[in-house]
Amino acid sequence: MRNDILPALITSRESAYNHPLPSISTRRNRGMFTRVLWVIASLIGLSLLLTLSYLYYYAWTFTHPKIDPLFSNPMAAYQLSYSNIEFLSMDNNSHMNGWYIPSATSLSTASKKTVIFSHGYAGNREEIWVPLYDLAQALHLHNYNVLMFDYGYVNRDQNPSRVVTAGVREAGELLGAVRYAKQLGAEQIYIWGFSMGAGTALQAALQHSEVDGMILDSTFLLQPNVLEHIVPNYYPHISKIFLPVVDSLLPFTGGVKLSRIPYDQVNSTNYSIPLFMIHGLKDTQAPFTITTQIFEQQTHPRSELWLPPDRGHEMTYRFQSEEYVERALSFLNQISQSAH
């Protein structure tokens, strides 16, 4: 062996001895650290999955509300003769059921004035907490025909793909009711909407000019600031920072994103028809500022605003029934007379 190679080999061996393999305890610590990281990552992943599942559940329950069955009918409630009716939405994609109550006049002088009720979220044509039977009787006795119907999401047997869309698809269904009322002979058509049904009526009026006036009680129009208002009341565990996630999940439940709702257009529109807007100042479900913001844009001389100071959501009739009916009929009678 060459003499010049020997020192290099010795140096190489000494270097190896100076850098021994990791000890058993060191390798054990590294393994423990890896397992801890894996556990932390798993917990974070599980937390994200559970959070996403809860947010999806919230989105799903919003678009698939529990609907109570019909409690009665016009004849049983107030001895009002009625007909069962069926009609399609304007795009013919939804099938609606309802009742038609003719006015108290004789057939020879059948009324040409029809009021269409637009019920609220998770309700049906009865809107029993108002209840709409009371208002239907008052309209019937004052020479108005009444059309009561269920939005498409109420009857999922006939409309299996229909869910709540906060007025986007419901507006077309309401316009289908307007078309049907005209087919029955109505020459003057008025919409009486409640909560989301009122918000739906405003969306429908953006598309159609064959409505002569609207009564809007406790208007609910879904928009970002309203969502931030109502979510803490019903889902206190959902932080506002998660609302965009909920919005993104809505289409996966069959619903629509907020961007599909024309709330900016509704808020800025000066409607060509008179509006009678009612909203209790103690409404915790739909802030009264929804109504006041919309009403501020109105210039029709017969539009009216009523803000009962001590009333909650759709509760004005229940506690001030005489004044409520008097104001509503006065509004309808005035605009119906001016339409001649």
Token representation of residue 233: 């009341």
Whole-prediction pTM: 0.87
User: How far apart, in Å, are the Cα atoms of 154 and each of 85, 137, 163, 186, 215?
Assistant: 15, 24, 8, 26, 22
* 88 CB-contact burial (10 Å; exposed 0-12 / middle 13-18 / buried 19+): middle
Give the pLDDT score at 82.
97
Token representation of residue 165: 């869309």
| Residue 154 DSSP label | G
Give the pLDDT score at 340.
58
What is the rounded distance in angstroms from the CA atom of residue 115 to the CA atom of residue 215?
A: 10
Fill in the amino acid letter for 244.
P
Q: Would you mind telling me the total number of residues written for the chain in this entry?
A: 340
286 with 219: CB under 8 angstroms? Answer: yes
What is the rounded distance in angstroms from the CA atom of residue 24 to the CA atom of residue 306?
A: 81
Give the pLDDT score at 156.
86
**C-alpha count within 13 angstroms, C-beta hemisphere, residue 138:** 18
Strands 83-88 and 95-101: antiparallel
User: How far apart, in Å, are the Cα atoms of 45 and each of 53, 56, 245?
Assistant: 12, 16, 17
What pLDDT tens digit does each residue of the chain (340 aa) get? 555 555 554 455 555 445 555 666 666 677 777 877 787 887 787 777 887 888 898 889 999 999 999 999 999 999 999 999 999 999 999 999 999 999 987 555 789 999 999 999 999 999 999 999 999 999 999 999 999 999 999 998 899 889 999 999 999 999 999 999 999 999 999 999 999 999 999 999 998 778 999 999 999 999 988 887 777 766 666 777 788 888 999 999 999 999 999 999 999 999 999 999 999 999 999 999 999 999 999 999 999 999 999 999 999 999 999 999 999 999 999 999 876 5
Q: To the nearest 10°, the Cα dihedral for 295, 298, 303, 305?
A: 20
Fill in the amino acid letter for 293.
Q
Q: To the nearest 10°, the Cα dihedral for 292, 125, 151, 101?
A: -100
Give the pLDDT score at 35.
79
User: How far apart, in Å, are the Cα atoms of 225 and each of 80, 193, 201, 289?
Assistant: 42, 22, 20, 11
| CA dihedral sign of residues 124, 127, 133, 135 | negative
Give the pLDDT score at 52.
85
* 89 CB-contact burial (10 Å; exposed 0-12 / middle 13-18 / buried 19+): buried
